[in-house]
Copies of this chain bind each other. A is one copy, B any other.
Amino acid sequence: MRCWIARRAPSVPASIERVSLSEFDLIDRYFRSCGASRADVRVGVGDDAAILECPAGAELVAAVDSLVDGVHFPHGSPPASIGHRALAVNLSDLAAMGARPAWALLALTLPAAEESWLAEFTAGFAALARAHDVALVGGDTTCGPLCVTVQVLGHVPRSSALLRSGGRAGDVVFVSGTPGDASAGLAIEQGRLPGAGEAAAYLRERFLYPAPRLALGECLRRHASACIDVSDGLLADAGKMARASGCGVEIAYEEVPVSQELARAVGAERARELALTGGDDYELCFSVRPPQVARLLSELPPERWGYTRIGMLREGPGADVVRDGAVMSFSHSGYDHFPTST
């Protein structure tokens, strides 16, 4: 892609042009060997497009997500965290389908090519990519406001993917991990919560370096009726899964798991509220048919796999949180990038 402004616009300050590497050097140095090496990559970074071999009997699974500076992460975030998160949020989408990731493409828009920033960014990206055997097979770098878009491609055995729409009323609903931690970590990053102590360090880590639940997602193909990844808040995303399944969801307030660190940082009440509405968790919320629950608990022991029963799908629309027999009201039941004016 041609990026004409840097050459043609007289308004571009000279300092923007005084960077230390050409684009081709950048790509060579940082992106060519970023991530895992895979035998199924026939042509990777460096040609007009990548050429990849799909395994027989599998379906291709594709997801894309963008991270925008000051929107999805605070301005000045550690570059390694930005690289990690840009890949993690996409891997989390594949986890929610029960898919195994294979390849990633990276479109990186950045104001200037600073070597130290790029080195840290790619280190964060590459560490997570290698941990999950993901090869970076293509990319695009352009000048502009900092924005990172990653596309991840992976596979599931034919007709075995987990969908949001497979649930039905009566199915038991679970969530992995301890949602809410990341939103507290973000608040610490932004100075809205005190940042000292071990609990704060743990919570920051949970925002900066989320762990996509890929192994759990693959195992859930044999157990779950529906699945979604929790990115916009547990209540909102459980509600989306329920709606896609043509029903509603009821979550038991007292059952929502909360980490000790979160409770210590914000108190038990606020912790559970953040667990329900916080977002940035990248955990999995999934439903299981009642007769399958015993097999789930036996084959994937919750204490080892780290998931918790939190409620059930029910007839009728909506997503409710029930406490002591009464439905609670939340100010933010979900998140909407472009809220409707009222």
- Which residues on A are within 8 Å of B, measured CB to CB? 1-7, 17-26, 42-43, 46-54, 56, 59-72, 89, 92-94, 96-97, 99, 103, 105-107, 109, 112-113, 137-145, 147, 149, 151-153, 156, 161, 163-165, 186, 227-229, 231-233, 244, 279-280, 332, 335-341
Chain B residues with CB under 8 Å of A113's CB are: 338
Among B46, B97, B228, B339, point to the contact of A244 (Cβ < 8 A).
Answer: B46
A130 to chain B, nearest CB (A): 20
B48-A53 in contact (CB<8A): no
- Knowing A66-B149, A71-B3, A107-B66, the reply to whether A51 touches B156 (Cβ < 8 A) is yes
A332-B7 in contact (CB<8A): yes
- Knowing A54-B54, A68-B3, A341-B20, the reply to whether A47 touches B186 (Cβ < 8 A) is no
Among B50, B72, B338, point to the contact of A1 (Cβ < 8 A).
Answer: B72
A218 to chain B, nearest CB (A): 14
Chain B residues with CB under 8 Å of A106's CB are: 64
How long is the Cα–Cα vector from A89 to B107 in the complex, in angstroms?
Answer: 14
A305 to chain B, nearest CB (A): 19
Q: List 6 A-B contacts (CB under 8 A).
A: A1-B232, A3-B71, A51-B161, A52-B62, A64-B149, A112-B338
Copies in the complex: 2
- Smallest CB gap from A66: residue in B: B107
A338-B63 in contact (CB<8A): no
B48-A164 in contact (CB<8A): yes
B72-A48 in contact (CB<8A): no
How long is the Cα–Cα vector from A44 to B279 in the complex, in angstroms?
Answer: 24
Chain B residues with CB under 8 Å of A71's CB are: 3-6, 109, 142-144
- Smallest CB gap from A227: residue in B: B48
Closest 7 CB pairs of A and B: A68-B144, A49-B63, A2-B279, A113-B338, A48-B96, A149-B149, A64-B105
Interface residue SS majority, chain A: mixed
B62-A49 in contact (CB<8A): yes
B53-A60 in contact (CB<8A): yes
How long is the Cα–Cα vector from A153 to B229 in the complex, in angstroms?
Answer: 24
- Smallest CB gap from A243: residue in B: B24
- Knowing A46-B244, A66-B1, A89-B1, the reply to whether A145 touches B142 (Cβ < 8 A) is no
A21-B338 in contact (CB<8A): yes
A341-B137 in contact (CB<8A): no
Chain B residues with CB under 8 Å of A337's CB are: 3, 6, 23, 141-143
- Knowing A64-B140, A72-B3, A279-B4, the reply to whether A47 touches B164 (Cβ < 8 A) is yes
A107-B4 in contact (CB<8A): no
Chain B residues with CB under 8 Å of A26's CB are: 338
A74 to chain B, nearest CB (A): 9
A61-B49 in contact (CB<8A): yes
How long is the Cα–Cα vector from A179 to B38 in the complex, in angstroms?
Answer: 37
How long is the Cα–Cα vector from A138 to B21 in the complex, in angstroms?
Answer: 34
How long is the Cα–Cα vector from A6 to B340 in the complex, in angstroms?
Answer: 12
- Knowing A1-B72, A165-B47, the reply to whether A22 touches B340 (Cβ < 8 A) is yes
